[in-house]
Amino acid sequence: MARPPQFDVRMSEAEGLMWRLEKDPYLSSTVANITVLDRRADFARFRHRLDRASRVVPRLRQRVQPTPVSLTPPTWVDDPAFDLDYHVRHVALPKPGSMRQLCELATLIAADPFDRTRPLWGFFVVDGLKGGQGAIIQKLHHTVADGEGSIRLSMQFIDLERDAPDPPMPPEGERPAAEQPAPPPSAAEALRDLLAGSLRMPIGISRQLRELLTDPTQIPTAGMTLAESVRGVLSQLSDVETAHSPVWTERSLRRRLETLRAPLDDTKAAAKALGGTLNTAFICAAAAAAGEYHQKVGAPVEQLRASMAVSTRTRESGSNAFSLVRMLVPTGEMDMAERFRLIHEATTTAREASATAGLETVAAVAATLPTSLVIRLAKTQAQTVDFATSNVRGADFPCYIGGAQIVSNYPIGPLGGVSFNLTLLSYNGSLDMGLNVDAAAVEDPGLLRSCMEGAFAELGALG
């Protein structure tokens, strides 16, 4: 059994920012996933495994405890009323049990806000799919874990063979001291810590950063690292150029989920032949598809603004370790190899720029501001982006849940105010993708999915 992921008692600045932003439903941080199985999962067996997981992974039995007047990031405390059956449900699709019905159910589940008085996760075991297949819809708040953290968490209930024996159930008793949740600070303690400057800034950033942001004329005399951080934050917050799409302009809370797959080996081979990485190939195909969509609806566009989730995970990382970068990607008519080269350059530049203004640094600055202002700034920043992408590496071998083999996985990434989110999860030789669309922005999601499929096929042929 894989080592369970490690969780901190207090949210990081970035997690605290995601928590605050959810006061606006357009900025929801919920992530979800559809797992399609070759047959119905054994519900009792799956529930037993999640019962065990909730004992091994303390976070699954914890709720969020806000701190007094939000002076510091929230903490996690044990939920004395934890009820496993609230978080693990058994449902069935009506006939005919199509993939379209499954996607619509997953969209509704993902859009339903979490009860903030309970642990922030849920699983829905779904029966009734065509051909005797089954499915599991997973829903998780981003403050619990990012994509890579979620994969590590899933190893608590995933098997490497269909009839693998269940691991022993640990007793419900005292936790080791290192895993005991700390009591939330009192208002006096929070205020003292805030005045001491020990909570709002990550390592390497001090009270001086706030002073420089207040008076940027001091930047030339500041230390190099600090000055670069200030320049990066100021550059990011001052970039308010509107998104480039002439047709993806509306925003709503209406969602439409499309799914698609591409062969992993062909895409990796193409990326290698073109001198880049799988992630570059992924964004290249997304950009090509977005451009073709605009051409087909009679509104060609030469470039769009994309955001990309970049992993910052190390061995010491907690439940979330990522940053977000923005870049302009070419979407006009051009050779796929030339598009790949331009996007490879753009992603390299964007990664370098994120080093001085990562999500934690931006979140630390945002933590000093009123929530209403932070939400307004976040929505302004979201309006600069046309679409979002994220790439998560999964298992490259068959896996099983509740006695059923996983056939495919379709992740559902949060929109956060953009027109669509394309998230990729590799699994057993396939690139499984969830295309989460704002239905007001992209009026023909099926056409966009078709353009995506064509772009990946064209790219894969170059390998």
Mean pLDDT, rounded, for 224-234: 46
- Which residue has 């309006």 as its token pair? 383
pLDDT grade for 23, boundaries at 50, 70 and 90: confident
Rounded to an integer, what distance in angstroms lies between the CA atom of residue 144 and that of residue 60? Answer: 9
pLDDT grade for 194, boundaries at 50, 70 and 90: very low
pLDDT grade for 373, boundaries at 50, 70 and 90: confident
Rounded to an integer, what distance in angstroms lies between the CA atom of residue 12 and that of residue 10? Answer: 6
Q: What pLDDT score was predicted for residue 145?
A: 79
Q: What pLDDT score was predicted for residue 293?
A: 98
In the predicted model, is pLDDT for residue 199 greater than 70?
Answer: no
Rounded to an integer, what distance in angstroms lies between the CA atom of residue 292 and that of residue 317? Answer: 39
Mean pLDDT, rounded, for 307-311: 78
Return all residues near 67 (Cβ < 8 A) that are at least 6 apart: 73, 74, 75, 184, 185, 190
Q: What pLDDT score was predicted for residue 381?
A: 83
Burial category of 454 from C-beta neighbours within 10 Å (exposed 0-12, middle 13-18, buried 19 and up): middle
Residue 87's identity, in one-letter code, is H
Mean pLDDT, rounded, for 195-219: 46
Mean pLDDT, rounded, for 356-367: 64
For 117, 225, 276, 346, 383, the CA distances from 349, given in Å and listed in that order, are: 42, 18, 14, 5, 21
pTM, 2 dp: 0.85
Check whether the bond before 4 is cis (ω within 30° of 0).
no
For 261, 268, 387, 460, the CA distances from 271, given in Å and listed in that order, are: 17, 5, 22, 8
Q: What pLDDT score was predicted for residue 244?
A: 94
- 3-state SS of the chain is CCCCCCCCCECCHHHHHHHHHCCCHHHCCEEEEEEEECCCCCHHHHHHHHHHHHHHCHHHHEEEECCHHHCCCCEEEECCCCCHHHHEEEEECCCCCCHHHHHHHHHHHHHCCCCCCCCCEEEEEEECCHHHCEEEEEEEECCCCCHHHHHHHHCCCCECCCCCCCCCCCCCCCCCHHHCCCCCCCHHHHHHHHHCCCCCCCCCCCHHHHHHHHCHHHHHHCCHHHHHHHHHHHHHHHCCCCCCCCCCCCCCCCEEEEEEEEEHHHHHHHHHHCCCCHHHHHHHHHHHHHHHHHHHCCCCCCEEEEEEEEECCCCCCCCCCEEEEEEEEECCCCCHHHHHHHHHHHHHHHHHHHCCCCHHHHHHHHCCCCHHHHHHHHHHHHCCCCEEEEEECCCCCCCEECCEEEEEEEEECCCCCCCEEEEEEEECCEEEEEEEEECCCCCCHHHHHHHHHHHHHHHHCCC
Q: What pLDDT score was predicted for residue 5?
A: 62
pLDDT grade for 2, boundaries at 50, 70 and 90: low
Chain segment 74-103, per-residue pLDDT in tens = 899 999 999 999 999 999 999 999 999 999
- Which residue has 């490497």 as its token pair? 160
Q: What pLDDT score was predicted for residue 151?
A: 79
Q: What is the CA radius of gyration of the chain?
A: 22
Top-ranked range on mean pLDDT: pick from 201-210, 224-233, 414-423: 414-423
User: By the 8 A CB rule, do 331 and 287 touch?
Assistant: yes
User: By the 8 A CB rule, do 171 and 148 touch?
Assistant: no
pLDDT grade for 203, boundaries at 50, 70 and 90: very low
Give residue 215's Cα distance to chain centre. Answer: 34
% of the chain at pLDDT higher than 70:
76
State the pairing for strand pair 387-392/303-311.
Answer: parallel
Chain segment 397-447, per-residue pLDDT in tens = 999 999 999 999 999 999 999 999 999 999 999 999 999 999 999 999 999
Q: What pLDDT score was predicted for residue 71?
A: 62
% of the chain at pLDDT higher than 90:
58
In the predicted model, is pLDDT for residue 14 greater than 90?
Answer: no
Return all residues near 239 (Cβ < 8 A) that are at least 6 apart: 326, 381, 384
Of residues 41, 257, 32, the one with CA closest to residue 133:
41
Q: What is the mean pLDDT of the chain?
A: 83
More confident residue, 314 or 420: 420
Q: What pLDDT score was predicted for residue 73?
A: 81
In the predicted model, is pLDDT for residue 154 greater than 90?
Answer: no
Q: What pLDDT score was predicted for residue 239?
A: 60
Q: What pLDDT score was predicted for residue 87?
A: 97
Chain segment 319-357, per-residue pLDDT in tens = 555 567 889 999 999 999 999 999 999 988 887 766 555
Q: What pLDDT score was predicted for residue 198?
A: 39
